[in-house]
Amino acid sequence: DIQMAQSPASLSASVGDRVNITCRASQSISTYLNWYQQSPGKAPRLLIYAAFSLQSGVPSRFSGSGVGIDFALTISSLKPEDFATYYCQQTYTTPLTFGGGTTVEIK
C-alpha cells in the first residue's frame, strides 16, 4: 500500500498568514494527489484534485503543487473559515490512501 505522510500534524496561524502543508508519498504517484478540507462536524470537501487543479467553487487562495513524491497545499492568506483539518489522498492505485491530516488552529 502507498503510505501518505502529512506534515505538520497541526499548526497555529493567524488570519492573513500564508500556510503550507506538505504530503509525501511512499512511492511516486505522478500527480494523482488530492486535497480535502474538513471543518469540525462536517463532511470533507474537495479543494484540489490532480495535484494542482482547483475544484469549482473553491477560493483561489488555495493552491496545490508537486509531482512524484512530494506535494504541498498552500493557503495564501488565511481566512477565519479556513481553520479546519486538511487531508491529502492518493488515487494512483488501490487501496486509495489518505494522509493523517493537518489541523490548522487559530493562534
Partner 1 sequence: EVQLVESGGGLVQPGGSLRLSCAASGFTFNNYAMTWVRQVPGKGLEWVSTISDSGATTYYPDSVKGRFTVSRDNSKNTLYLQMDRLRADDTAVYYCSKDWDSSGPNWSDPWGQGTLVTVSP
Q: Which is nearer to partner 1, 1 or 105 (CB)?
A: 1
Cβ(47)–Cβ(96) below 8 Å: no
Q: Which is nearer to partner 1, 46 or 67 (CB)?
A: 46
Contacting partner 1 (CB under 8 A), which of 19, 82, 87, 104?
87
Distance CA 3, CA 19 (A): 23
Residue 66 touches partner 1, criterion: CB under 8 A: no
Closest CA to 24 of 2, 53, 49: 2
* String of contacts with partner 1 for each residue 19-48, x by CB under 8 A: ---------------x-x------xxxx--
